[in-house]
């Protein structure tokens, strides 16, 4: 009988391979958010399918082609979450977070998301993100804050080979004027039936089409930036001025739309140069009308999602090695059953004292047990046999220098603490 393998487009995180690095990436990406007053939120991995069709957009590939859907025994139509924003806004509205104090409500989350995409390196059917949403305030400083926090997170990890792209998508006042001009332009192009249908629902989505046959026809397409109203121009200028003042480099990209229908005004994307076609390591934007689309009050908001998988690959592409915390500081090796019972108690005591400690389990020769101690990466090994215990000591071996000395059992915790463990 053959063994099972992970489903196509997914991956396993394993100790000694990649799990420690993924944990470190998640921690670093979220650290700036925690320092900036964002509170943690967690939502279900599945929601009412209408939440995504209404919030993300019926014309998006995410909803029309990529969303995993299921029907419950009770007949409810659910979808595995393809992105985080709609769920977070739904949860905030349901809990009336916008009524509980000062706005904006600042939230961050970490989790897996699901899209039925053509699986390849950097594009997975289950992928991991850190996300942030600031709900209930229309302020250029908030847009700039989120981009700065993301940039700080990437730099803290050691990434350098990336750029930030910024655009403005206008608002309810100026976007309809641009939309009419774009529809008129698209009507003269040679587009397939599905693309024309998409253009009728949201013509901006055509600008996001990655096919060369489509992009080649968009060279002379009208740019939204040329149609921005004075308010949107001023807002965009303030956002960019704040980025510049904070020392965050960016490029203006008039074709940047991103794959979600709810964006207004500011939209942005972080692109890494070492990842090929799947170059986006994060992005987001302002979504001032999403709350109303979901049945809530007007709550202008802005947010982003940063890809943990993509960031890991970007670090790999740049050859960046993360400074990972030690998983085992002390490794105990018992020579005999009586010694094992005593050392087991000491291992528990050391762990309760905050020292990462492991024990050689199973029946092992001293040679194999010391090999396990070496593979664990521990700084010290504790070795004890019946003679040591009769004298009330254990042997403490420095795994780097090889030096070994006896330490009294009662003084073990104190001695290791003095060694800054």
CATH of the domain at 108: 3.30.930.10
- If you average pLDDT over residues 257-273, what whole number do you get? 84
- Are 87 and 169 in a shared domain? yes
- Are 145 and 292 in a shared domain? yes
What integer pLDDT is reported at residue 317 of this predicted model? 95
What integer pLDDT is reported at residue 60 of this predicted model? 67
- Are 291 and 397 in a shared domain? no
- If you average pLDDT over residues 130-159, what whole number do you get? 98
Which residues form the domain of 152? 19-174+228-318
Among residues 268, 285, 318, the one where a domain terminates is 318
- Per-residue pLDDT at 260 exceeds 70: no
What integer pLDDT is reported at residue 349 of this predicted model? 95
What integer pLDDT is reported at residue 190 of this predicted model? 82
- Per-residue pLDDT at 252 exceeds 80: yes
- Are 168 and 248 in a shared domain? yes
Q: pLDDT tens, 3-29?
A: 899 999 999 999 988 999 999 999 999
Q: pLDDT tens, 29-70?
A: 999 999 999 999 999 999 999 998 887 776 566 777 889 999
Among residues 265, 296, 318, the one where a domain terminates is 318
Domain of 340: which CATH number? 3.40.50.800
What integer pLDDT is reported at residue 157 of this predicted model? 97
Q: pLDDT tens, 237-246?
A: 999 999 999 9
What secondary structure, in 3-state letters, does the chain show? CCCCCCCCCCCCCCCCCCHHHHHHHHHHHHHHHHHCCCEECCCCCEEEHHHHHHHCCCCCHHHHHHCCEEECCCCCEEEECCCCHHHHHHHHHHCCHHHCCCCCEEEEEEEEEECCCCCECCECCEEEEEEEEEECCCCHHHHHHHHHHHHHHHHHHCCCCEEEEEEECCCCCCHHHHHHHHHHHHCCCCCCHHHHHHHHHCCHHHHCCCCHHHHHHHCCCCCHHHHCCHHHHHHHHHHHHHHHHCCCCCEECCCCCCCCCCCEEEEEEEEECCCCCCCEEEEEEECCCHHHHCCCCCCCEEEEEEEHHHHHHHHHHHCCCCCCCCCCCEEEEEECHHHHHHHHHHHHHHHHCCCCEEECCCCCCHHHHHHHHHHHCCCEEEEEEHHHHHCCEEEEEECCCCCEEEEEHHHHHHHHHHCCC
Is 401 a domain residue?
yes
Is 114 a domain residue?
yes
What integer pLDDT is reported at residue 51 of this predicted model? 92
- Are 274 and 405 in a shared domain? no
What integer pLDDT is reported at residue 219 of this predicted model? 84
- Are 269 and 389 in a shared domain? no
Average pLDDT, rounded, for the chain? 91
- Are 144 and 41 in a shared domain? yes
Is 1 a domain residue?
no
- Are 273 and 339 in a shared domain? no
What integer pLDDT is reported at residue 405 of this predicted model? 94
Is 53 a domain residue?
yes
Indicate the pTM of the whole model.
0.89
What integer pLDDT is reported at residue 224 of this predicted model? 85
What integer pLDDT is reported at residue 95 of this predicted model? 97
- If you average pLDDT over residues 80-87, what whole number do you get? 94
- Per-residue pLDDT at 259 exceeds 70: no
- Are 294 and 371 in a shared domain? no
Is 325 a domain residue?
no
Among residues 318, 340, 359, the one where a domain terminates is 318
- If you average pLDDT over residues 355-370, what whole number do you get? 89
Is 3 a domain residue?
no
Is 324 a domain residue?
no
- Are 295 and 340 in a shared domain? no
- Are 232 and 313 in a shared domain? yes
Is 387 a domain residue?
yes
- Per-residue pLDDT at 130 exceeds 70: yes
- Are 25 and 71 in a shared domain? yes
Q: Report the number of distinct structural domains present in the chain.
A: 2
What integer pLDDT is reported at residue 37 of this predicted model? 96
Q: pLDDT tens, 308-318?
A: 999 999 999 99
Q: pLDDT tens, 85-111?
A: 999 999 999 999 999 988 999 999 999
């Amino acid at each position: 009988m053959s063994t099972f393998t992970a489903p196509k487009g997914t991956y396993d995180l394993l100790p000694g391979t990649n799990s420690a690095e993924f944990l470190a990436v998640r921690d670093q990406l979220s650290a700036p958010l925690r320092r900036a007053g964002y509170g943690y939120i967690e939502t279900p991995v599945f929601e009412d399918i209408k939440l995504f069709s209404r919030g993300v957009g019926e014309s998006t590939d995410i909803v029309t082609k990529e969303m995993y859907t299921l029907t419950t025994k009770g007949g409810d139509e659910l979808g595995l979450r393809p992105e985080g924003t709609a769920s977070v806004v739904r949860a905030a509205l349901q809990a009336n977070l916008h009524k509980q104090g000062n706005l904006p409500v600042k939230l961050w989350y970490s989790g897996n998301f699901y899209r039925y995409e053509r699986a390849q390196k950097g594009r997975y059917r289950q992928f991991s993100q850190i996300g942030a949403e600031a709900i209930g305030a229309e302020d250029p400083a908030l847009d700039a804050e989120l981009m700065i926090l993301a940039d700080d997170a990437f730099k803290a990890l050691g990434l350098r080979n990336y750029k930030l792209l910024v655009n403005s998508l206008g608002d309810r006042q100026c976007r309809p004027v641009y939309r009419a001009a774009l529809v008129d332009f698209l009507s003269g192009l040679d587009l397939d039936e599905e693309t024309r249908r998409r253009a009728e629902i949201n013509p901006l989505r055509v600008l996001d089409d990655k096919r060369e046959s489509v992009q080649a026809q968009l060279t002379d397409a009208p740019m939204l930036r040329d149609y921005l109203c004075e308010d949107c121009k001023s807002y965009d200028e303030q956002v960019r001025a704040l980025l510049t003042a904070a020392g965050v480099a960016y490029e203006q990209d008039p074709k940047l739309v991103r794959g979600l229908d709810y964006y207004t005004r500011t939209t942005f994307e972080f692109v890494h140069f070492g990842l090929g076609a799947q170059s986006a390591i994060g992005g987001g934007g302002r979504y001032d009308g999403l709350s109303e689309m979901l049945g809530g009050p007007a709550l202008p908001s802005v947010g982003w999602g940063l890809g943990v998988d993509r960031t890991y690959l970007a670090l790999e592409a740049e050859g960046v090695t993360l400074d990972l915390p030690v998983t085992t500081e002390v490794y105990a090796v018992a020579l005999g059953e009586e010694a094992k019972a005593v050392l087991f108690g000491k291992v528990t005591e050391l762990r309760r004292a905050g020292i990462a400690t492991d024990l050689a389990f199973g029946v092992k020769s001293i040679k194999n047990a010391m090999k396990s101690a070496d593979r664990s990466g521990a700084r010290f090994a504790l070795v004890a046999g019946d003679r040591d215990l009769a004298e009330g000591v254990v042997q403490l071996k420095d795994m780097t220098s090889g030096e070994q000395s006896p330490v009294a059992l009662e003084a073990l915790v104190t001695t290791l603490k003095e060694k800054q463990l």
